Amino acid sequence: MVRASDKDKTTHFGYRQVPKFEKPKLVAGVFHSVATKYDLMNDLMSLGAHRLWKRFTIQQSNVREGHRVLDVAGGTGDLARLFAPRVGTEGRVIIADINDSMLSVGRARLADSGIVGNVEFVQADAENLPFADDYFDCITIAFGLRNVTHMERALSSMYRTLKVGGRMLVLEFSHPTRPGLSKIYDAYSFSVLPLLGRLVAKDEASYRYLAESIRRHPKQNALKTMMTAAGFSNVDYFNLSGGIVALHKAYKL
């Protein structure tokens, strides 16, 4: 359903301006295309570093036995695979993703790993999560926020469903802070990533979009301000790998 407020407005899809109502369909096309190669491409693109970034996120979550965890845009289940043993049989991990292709890959992947029983898959829009208020002990979103059309709506939806005292963690590509790193990172992003996309995923255009979407994502302090505006408290962030990635941590108080 297209909101009346979106009919005549545009937003960015990478470096292109597109009508707001078209962006979800375009983003869906990207992830339908790359779903089966998504995990392999993550390893190749980050040289395996994404696994360290995600483990750091888990460490910062303070998730323990019996907790309810929501992983938004959780797709292929990387974080859920690490959360499941922590919450135990009394806890619950819900992977919410708008893209059914990513969810299908995630279901198969976790089942192959023997992770069943305390993990649930829900096809849902981050901007309008179908969960009760004050329900989750922890909510995460890893490398998904920049693909949302209305980030402020997604943050507000996650805030609503988080328990008072709960933690919110946003892991996302960000903006390098080390001197000289930006030029190297740009060269890598716009030369190597599309080439890997073409050779491995057979989709150069999608990985060019993903590189462009990173550049359009708010800088660290701007995202901190957005999270505060959504209601979160004690918002802080960690720069990882020189700011190539940032983990924002916040609370609902």
CB atoms within 10 A of CB 114: 8
CATH class of the domain comprising 4-178+207-251: alpha beta
Domain ranges of the chain: 4-178+207-251
- On the 0-12 / 13-18 / 19+ scale of CB atoms within 10 A, 71 is buried
Q: Measured at the alpha carbon of residue 72, what is the angle toward residues 68 and 77, in degrees to the nearest 5?
A: 85
Give the range among 120-129, 181-190, 217-226 with minimum mean pLDDT: 181-190
Q: How confident is the model at residue 2 (pLDDT cuts 50, 70, 90)?
A: low
SS3 116: coil
Q: Taking the C-alpha atoms of 48, 91, 140 and 250 in order, what is their torsion angle to the nearest 10 degrees?
A: -120
pLDDT at 221: 98
pLDDT at 210: 87
User: What are the backbone dihedrals phi and psi of residue 44, each rounded to the nearest 5 degrees, phi first?
Assistant: -70, -45
For residue 179, is pLDDT > 90? no
What is the share, in percent, of the chain residues with pLDDT greater than 90?
78
Q: Model confidence over 116-172: pLDDT tens digits?
A: 899 999 999 999 999 999 999 999 999 999 999 999 999 999 999 999 999 999 999
Which value, in Å, is the radius of gyration of the alpha carbons in the chain? Answer: 17
The C-alpha atoms of residue 72 and residue 95 are separated, in whole angstroms, by: 6
SS3 163: strand
Question: Nearest to residue 56, comparing CAs of 78, 76, 39, 41?
Answer: 78
pLDDT at 6: 56
Task: Give the sign of the dihedral formed by CA 228, CA 232, CA 233, CA 236.
Answer: negative
Question: Nearest to residue 252, comparing CAs of 179, 173, 157, 177?
Answer: 157
